[in-house]
Amino acid sequence: MSSTKDNEPVERPRIVIIGGGFGGLATARALANDLVDVTLIDRRNYHLFQPLLYQVATGELSPANIASPLRAIVRRQRNCTILLAEVQGVDVEAREVQLADGERVVFDALIVAAGASHSYFGHEEWAQHAPGLKTVEDATTIRARLLAAFERAERTASAELCRELLTFVIVGAGPTGIELAGAISEVAHYALRQDFRHIDPTDATIFVVEAGPRALSAFPEDFDPVIRSALDRLEVTLLPKTRVTDITAEGVRVECEGESRWLGSRTVLWAAGVQASPLGRELAEACGCDVDRAGRVIVEADLTVSNHPEIFVIGDLASVTVGDHRLPGLAPVAMQQGQFVAQVLRARIQGDSPRERFEYRDRGNLAVIGRYSAVAVIGSRRWSGFLAWLVWIFIHLMEITQFRNRLLVLVQWGWTFFTRDRSARLITNSRVSSERSVSEPEPSTAKSG
């Protein structure tokens, strides 16, 4: 059946949302009580709580714990239809979204919240050796590679190969990179500690390569000593002011202040660049507006595209500059933008004059550094250490969409807290039949890359 609902009265505006992430979902939910027809298009059947994806990648949580079916979320919102489909493009003049299967969805207003994926800064060939962390498949791929590295180390007779297998390099010292590094350290030092007979997993070496001078550069410099001591305790080595110049199956070549260095490693993870969905660039071309270097659409103050007040771009796909800095690609930004767009649409429908400018209310910023430690800036307050970690736990538990998932995550965190064990340690999607097959890229990487 057609989702355009031609048989319904035309006065009910058709709002089409592309993307069921934080931004798109917030828009849809904010329109729950309005006399509109909302169509939410996503190629996945679930909303993913990305901030905890690194815990899936490191075997603490299961994918379903952080992924809620979109249909279940909007089940009681009768004005919202979910369309599981791949978007091919937008016909701006005809006001139609084109789907990959040929169907066209007509809109009166369009919200594009298609998000971002990894950017390898023009080195797409690195993707196969250094998977990033954006999707469930990315997370299970990283989980399989991480665990397979220890398995291969246990079986190899070569001391050099063993050292390379127990060396983990993470590119990028933003929140994702630091969270991954901390979790891998916990895996090596606690979860796997007594599991092997020939190797000692605590011999693992973990590097975080960062082009800038500091880890977690979104946080004030006052935190540097706390971050440094937390990384020391985790035995994570930060390499600041260091650029990646090559990545192969055997390791990473880096350059620091003119000096080149080879880091032999069989597990390299990418937590550096993001690149906006290609839909952004296409849309910008069609509308005659600009994109920034990462492909984000530079939108107007009310989040619309220039000359097209019916098309909004929000979330990681939008480039919004306040003063001299760009709003970061964070869930709270996307959610507030979604709520703002819903308000604008509601005002237009009711004939009121809509708000003209999106303003981000920065409620704070949090990053976890291994177990028991985090840094937090909330309003004018700054926390670090165990207290910040408790704040982080509380906020993330509250934000997970379904009550059941909240309970399951709590049980698993509680278990990990008391036993330091992790049980979601599955190597799936690949059988570890030989060394060769383990080092080959997983099929899911190829797909999501």
Residue ranges in contact with a second copy by CB under 8 A: 1-3, 43-46, 62-65, 67-69, 71-72, 75-76, 81, 83-86, 100-101, 103, 136-137, 140, 147, 151, 154-157, 192, 194-198, 402, 404-405, 407-408, 411-412, 415, 419, 421, 423-429, 431-435, 443-444, 447
**Burial level of 22, CB count in 10 A (0-12/13-18/19+)?**
buried
User: Is the Cβ of residue 151 or residue 399 nearer to a second copy in the bound state?
Assistant: 151
Q: Where does 210-354 show beta strands of DSSP type E? A: 236-239, 242-248, 251-256, 259-264, 267-270, 273-276, 297-298, 304-305, 308-313, 318-319, 321-322, 325-326
179 is catalytic: yes
Minimum CB separation from a second copy for residue 369, in Å?
Answer: 25
User: Is the Cβ of residue 194 or residue 353 nearer to a second copy in the bound state?
Assistant: 194
**Burial level of 260, CB count in 10 A (0-12/13-18/19+)?**
exposed
Pairing of strands 96-99, 87-91: antiparallel
Q: What are phi and psi of 400, to 5 degrees?
A: -65, 135
Minimum CB separation from a second copy for residue 62, in Å?
Answer: 4
Q: Which of 60, 96, 137, 179 is catalytic?
A: 179
User: Is the Cβ of residue 391 or residue 408 nearer to a second copy in the bound state?
Assistant: 408
Give the pair of three-digit tokens for residue 7: 């048989």
Residue 9, CA distances (Å) to 12, 25, 96, 338 in order = 6, 25, 18, 26
User: Is the Cβ of residue 12 or residue 44 nearer to a second copy in the bound state?
Assistant: 44
Instruction: Taking the CA atoms of 207, 211, 215 and 218 in sequence, report the sign of the dihedral they define.
Output: negative
Minimum CB separation from a second copy for residue 280, in Å?
Answer: 19
∠ CA 215-47-17, rounded to 5°: 105
Q: How far apart are CA 308 and CA 155, in angstroms?
A: 61
Minimum CB separation from a second copy for residue 199, in Å?
Answer: 8
The residue written with tokens 């869930």 in the block is: 331
Cβ pair 131, 145 in contact under 8 A: yes
Q: How far apart are CA 174 and CA 24, in angstroms?
A: 24
Minimum CB separation from a second copy for residue 162, in Å?
Answer: 9
Minimum CB separation from a second copy for residue 144, in Å?
Answer: 9
User: Is the Cβ of residue 309 or residue 441 nearer to a second copy in the bound state?
Assistant: 441
User: Is the Cβ of residue 153 or residue 305 nearer to a second copy in the bound state?
Assistant: 153
Which residues are annotated as catalytic? Answer: 179
